[in-house]
């Protein structure tokens, strides 16, 4: 059994390991850091590994996980396959009793169970995460600027595309994070020829769409229930790889600015004057529902903009 306490792995190493059989997977892996793209890849590899060997897979939410439920999951036997794989999403939000339960399990044999804990917090931010990392293997989901180019090359290889000279560097420099970079490469791949080559004109079109996009304008249009204006912003935002949770918080901030204008005087676009406090609160309720649906897997990150538009239009207070 693999049990390297306090070990470290890169995101690439974690992908290869977690995609493999349970015998090669550490009983406990912590993937911590703000890069959503890396966390998603690690979770995907963990899930794919379970599928390949016919293991059971369970997803648990750290912010709503009772200690008894966690203990039951950790001590349950896999009914089918060789092992049970458990993914605990946002492990930084576990209550203290659940933390103790997980640590007690980590001190045992871990036979038949593999646990992946993910969180957007960095490992050094919380004492609890440092303690958890010391009991298993830690993967830091943080991308330094020099690593972006290396990831750009890897993602281009995965998409089987070849960009014009300087194109990959330009994308790596302009993308806000790896998720945006991956989304842009997928969009460009549509324009590739049979050999995977992407014309320079496609890069120019993507750049123009990115410059014309405005997440604030989209959020204000959503709050105003102006579907035409919201849809007009979508192509540019999509081309720029902007959306998902960024769209969620853009709507929330515009709604909060309507309720507390003094607290949002730091430069973001102000909401339309016609947004009443009642409508702003209704919009915040819609944001809360969207966030909960995302955490429970009901809504995918890529579908959040559509979901928000529908929820805000259907909310009371407009």
- pLDDT tens digit sequence for 210-256: 544 577 888 888 888 888 888 777 777 776 666 777 788 888 888 88
Structural domains of the chain in order of their starting residue, each with its CATH number: 7-140 (3.40.50.300), 145-212 (1.10.8.60), 215-314 (1.20.272)
Burial of 140 (0-12, 13-18, 19+ CB in 10 A): buried
Please give the mean pLDDT across all residues of the chain. 81
The DSSP code for 268 is: S
* The pLDDT value given to residue 42: 96
Whether 90 has a pLDDT exceeding 80, the answer reads yes
pTM of the model: 0.63
The DSSP code for 46 is: H
**First and final C-alpha spacing in the chain:** 59
Cα 277 to Cα 174, 185, 217: the distances in Å are 37, 41, 19
Give the lowest-confidence range in 59-73, 161-175, 263-277, 287-301: 263-277
Cβ atoms of 118 and 39 within 8 Å: the answer is: yes
Provide mean pLDDT across the span 176-202: 76
Provide mean pLDDT across the span 136-157: 85
Provide mean pLDDT across the span 71-78: 79
Give the lowest-confidence range in 2-16, 92-106, 266-280: 266-280
* The pLDDT value given to residue 266: 40
Cα 77 to Cα 22, 28, 84, 85, 183: the distances in Å are 14, 17, 7, 11, 39
């Amino acid at each position: 059994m693999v049990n390297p306490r306090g070990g470290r792995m890169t995101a690439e190493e974690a992908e290869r390991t977690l995609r493999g059989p349970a015998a090669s997977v550490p009983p406990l892996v912590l993937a911590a850091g703000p890069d959503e793209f890396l966390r998603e890849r690690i979770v995907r590899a963990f899930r794919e590994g379970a599928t390949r060997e016919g293991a059971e897979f369970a997803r648990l939410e750290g912010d709503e996980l009772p200690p008894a439920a966690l203990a039951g999951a950790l001590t349950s036997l896999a009914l089918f396959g060789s092992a049970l794989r458990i993914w605990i999403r946002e492990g930084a939000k576990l209550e203290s009793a659940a933390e103790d339960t997980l640590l007690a399990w980590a001190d045992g044999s871990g036979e038949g169970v593999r646990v992946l804990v993910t969180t957007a917090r960095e490992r050094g931010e919380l004492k609890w995460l440092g303690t958890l990392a010391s009991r298993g293997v830690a993967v830091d989901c943080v991308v330094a600027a020099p690593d972006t180019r290396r990831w750009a090359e890897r993602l281009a290889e995965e998409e089987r595309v070849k960009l014009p000279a300087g194109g990959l560097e330009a994308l790596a420099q302009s993308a806000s994070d790896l998720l945006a970079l991956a989304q842009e490469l997928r969009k460009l791949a549509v324009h590739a020829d049979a050999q995977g080559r992407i014309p320079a004109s496609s890069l120019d079109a993507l750049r123009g769409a990115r410059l014309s996009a405005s997440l604030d304008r989209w959020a204000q249009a959503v709050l105003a229930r102006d579907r035409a204006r919201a849809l007009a912003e979508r192509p540019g935002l999509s081309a720029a790889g902007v959306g998902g949770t960024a769209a969620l918080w853009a709507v929330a901030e515009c709604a909060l600015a309507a309720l507390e204008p003094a607290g949002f005087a730091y430069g973001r676009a102000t909401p339309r004057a016609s947004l009443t406090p009642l409508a702003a609160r209704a919009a915040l309720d819609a944001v809360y529902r969207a966030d909960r649906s995302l955490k429970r897997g009901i809504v995918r990150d890529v579908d959040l903009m559509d979901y928000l538009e529908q929820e805000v239009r259907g909310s009371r207070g407009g």
